């Protein structure tokens, strides 16, 4: 009886040893797969051959994780995380790619929890990198489809993992901006800016967000930063000047316009704005010169034509104040010029009521009642 018990006991020990050895062998197969994968990558083998190596390794890792002993080893999970994550980025079937992506996430979590001495940190880091490549693809696909909320959630995680990647930061910011999460958008626009992005659109978008939050000084400083790295960029400069004007910083706006005109002598908007500021200071002759320079670039520039008409009307009224013998001829000359400018403005934009009203005023002074009646009829049509 004792002999039978001894043999039976020996059998149990042997079976237990063989099982443990088998699981260690499975882990060794999984280890070997990591090496084989690297060889396949270096040899530039096609995805099919790489997937064959990966499948063998993942199968072995899953066998090891089913064992009571090896499933407690962080290496088991680190290897599975790395191999699964690599499948997720080379697998062309989206369903399979997503499945291995989720397996990799679970394995990374287990590996980090068990790896108290960080002995498998390289594998875990590599797996995390691959997972983020997959997340980036998911985010980019969502952005293209117009699902900006999903795009933001994916890209945000990748950008936080790779904070120096400026393209990622910009795409994350644009996704947040599209779902009107402006504070979040600013975080990622700032990240891109702080890491050296010079694209004018970044500075424009940041300035627009600050303006929408009534943080005008921050908006102005942002555009100034943008102009420093993009000197005389038309769009940044225009936004900057408009922002200065909106915030009644007229001397600053004038300085920017004057310095920019020296470089961009063919910018009709700059001449118009310069004329507008001079007109507000009652410098009618300087304003007239500026508007005419704008019209020399674009003869149908409505805003310049309209304001030029106002300049001539103001000059006509000023001429009457002198009361000398030249006042009447000057008045007539300015009124005639105002008429020409405003008629051209009306031709460019026939639906502008203000232009029609000014023309009615001019023809009333000229006692051209037929023209007054005609224009009043047009006003009633609006």
Query: pLDDT by residue (tens digit) across 335-379?
Result: 999 999 999 999 999 999 999 999 999 999 999 999 999 999 888
With a cut of 80, say whether residue 324 has pLDDT above it: no
Q: What is the model's pLDDT at position 133?
A: 97
Strand segments (E) across the chain: none
Mean pLDDT across 291-313 = 98
Q: How far is CA 209 from CA 174, 215, 227, 283, in A?
A: 12, 9, 17, 35
Tell me 91's DSSP state: -
Strand segments (E) across 261-306: none
3-state helix, strand and coil shares in percent for the chain, rounded to the nearest 5: 80, 0, 20
With a cut of 80, say whether residue 14 has pLDDT above it: no
Q: What is the model's pLDDT at position 253?
A: 97
Mean pLDDT across 286-302 = 98
Give the tens place of pLDDT for each residue, 358-367.
999 999 999 9
Q: How much of the chain exceeds pLDDT 90, in percent?
A: 87
- Can you list the alpha helix ranges (DSSP code H) found in 43-147? 47-65, 74-90, 94-114, 121-144
With a cut of 70, say whether residue 7 has pLDDT above it: no
Contact (CB, 8 A) for 346 and 356: yes
Q: What is the model's pLDDT at position 16?
A: 39
Q: What is the model's pLDDT at position 23?
A: 55
pLDDT level of residue 24 (50, 70, 90 thresholds): low
| Whole-prediction pTM | 0.80
Q: What is the model's pLDDT at position 232?
A: 85
Average pLDDT over the chain reads 92
Contact (CB, 8 A) for 101 and 88: yes
Mean pLDDT across 237-264 = 94
With a cut of 60, say whether residue 4 has pLDDT above it: no
Give the tens place of pLDDT for each residue, 62-119.
999 999 999 999 999 999 999 999 999 999 999 999 999 999 999 999 999 999 999 9
Distance CA 130, CA 125 (A): 9
pLDDT level of residue 19 (50, 70, 90 thresholds): very low
Q: How far is CA 66 from CA 26, 57, 195, in A?
A: 11, 14, 46
Give the tens place of pLDDT for each residue, 160-179.
999 999 999 999 999 999 99
User: Given the structure tokens 């400069």, which residue do they identify?
Assistant: 237
Give the tens place of pLDDT for each residue, 128-165.
999 999 999 999 999 999 999 999 999 999 999 999 99
How do the domains of the chain map onto residue ranges? 22-141, 146-197
Contact (CB, 8 A) for 173 and 205: yes
Q: What is the model's pLDDT at position 41?
A: 95
């Amino acid at each position: 009886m004792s002999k039978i018990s001894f043999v039976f006991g020996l059998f149990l020990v042997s079976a237990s040893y063989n099982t443990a050895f088998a699981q260690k062998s499975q882990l060794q197969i999984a280890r070997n797969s990591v090496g084989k994968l690297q060889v396949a990558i270096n040899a530039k083998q096609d995805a099919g051959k790489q997937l064959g190596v990966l499948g063998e390794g993942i199968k072995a890792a899953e066998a090891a994780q089913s064992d009571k002993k090896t499933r407690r080893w962080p290496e088991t999970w680190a290897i599975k995380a790395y191999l699964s994550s690599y499948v997720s980025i080379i697998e062309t079937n989206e369903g399979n790619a997503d499945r291995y992506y989720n397996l990799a996430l679970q394995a990374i979590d287990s590996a980090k929890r068990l790896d108290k001495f960080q002995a498998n940190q390289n594998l875990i880091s590599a797996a995390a990198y691959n997972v983020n490549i997959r997340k980036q693809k998911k985010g980019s696909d969502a952005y293209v489809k117009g699902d900006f909320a999903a795009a933001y959630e994916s890209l945000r995680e990748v950008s936080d993992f790779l904070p120096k990647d400026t393209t990622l930061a910009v795409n994350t910011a644009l996704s947040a901006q599209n779902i009107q999460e402006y504070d979040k958008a600013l975080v990622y626009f700032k990240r891109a800016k702080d890491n050296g992005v010079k694209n004018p659109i970044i500075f424009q978008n940041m300035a627009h967000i600050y303006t929408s939050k009534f943080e005008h000084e921050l908006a102005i400083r942002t555009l100034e930063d943008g102009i420093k790295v993009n000197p005389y960029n038309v769009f940044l400069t225009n936004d900057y000047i408009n922002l200065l004007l909106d915030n009644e910083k007229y001397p600053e706006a004038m300085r920017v316009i004057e310095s920019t005109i020296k470089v961009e002598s063919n910018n009709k908007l700059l001449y118009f704005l310069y004329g507008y500021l001079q007109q507000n200071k009652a410098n009618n002759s300087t304003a007239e010169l500026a508007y005419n320079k704008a019209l020399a670039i674009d003869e149908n520039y409505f805003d310049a034509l309209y304001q030029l008409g106002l300049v001539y009307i103001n000059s006509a009224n000023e001429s009457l104040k002198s009361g000398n013998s030249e006042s009447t001829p000057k008045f007539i000359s300015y009124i005639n010029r105002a008429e020409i400018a405003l008629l051209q403005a009306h031709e460019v934009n026939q639906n502008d009521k203000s232009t029609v009203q000014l023309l009615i005023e001019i023809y009333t002074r000229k006692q051209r009642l037929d023209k007054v009646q005609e224009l009043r009829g047009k006003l009633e049509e609006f």
